[in-house]
Amino acid sequence: MANSVKPAVAETPKPLATPASPSMSVIAPAIAWLIPGAGHLIQKRWIRGLLLMASITTMFILGLMMQGRVYLPNGGDILDILGFVGDVGAGGLYIVTRVQGWGHGAIAHATADYGTKFLIVAGLLNFISAADAYHIAIGKKP
């Protein structure tokens, strides 16, 4: 009696989405870092891009309005270094802030420390957003 067992076939995992062009995997995260949400917008994820742009930009601006401190490149205290890493994640927002000379912080305001945290977290959220734009570009995410 013939055994009707089918031969095992190695299945390759299907990608969740169609990958974009290889250059997009470089351009998308780069532009996402420079302009929050833009990495999604250039891949036609309009709603996601606009929500990310609005959230990260608003958070950064609120941080500045609360007289938060923007960290400069430094090699001193570890928390200052990490603060700079967080801030620089905001990309273009950080560059504009430095060029304009904003974000010196004001210890006279009790909310200034909240503002400093808002600035750092906006940058860190933008790193996550850039990573997400990269995942969309390589087809790992729809």
Partner 1 sequence: MTLELSHFSAAVLFSLFASVVFGITQRNTAREQLRYGMYCFVMFAGGVFVAGWVMWILRH
Which residues contact partner 1 by CB under 8 A? 16, 48, 51-52, 55-56, 58-59, 62, 65-67, 106, 109-111, 114, 117-118, 121-122, 125, 128-129, 131-132, 141-142
Burial class (CB in 10 A: 0-12, 13-18, 19+), 5: exposed
Nearer to partner 1, 24 or 59 (CB): 59
Min separation Cβ 8 and partner 1, Å = 29
For the residues of 28-42, what is the DSSP string, one character each? Answer: HHHHHHHSTTHHHHT
Rounded CA separation 118/112 (Å): 10
Nearer to partner 1, 28 or 59 (CB): 59
Nearer to partner 1, 40 or 76 (CB): 40
The token pair at 128 is 């996550």
Min separation Cβ 139 and partner 1, Å = 12
Nearer to partner 1, 67 or 97 (CB): 67
Rounded CA separation 93/99 (Å): 10
Phi, psi of 137 (to 5 degrees): -65, -35
What is the 3-state composition of the chain as percent helix, strand, coil, each rounded to the nearest 5?
55, 0, 40
Nearer to partner 1, 4 or 18 (CB): 18
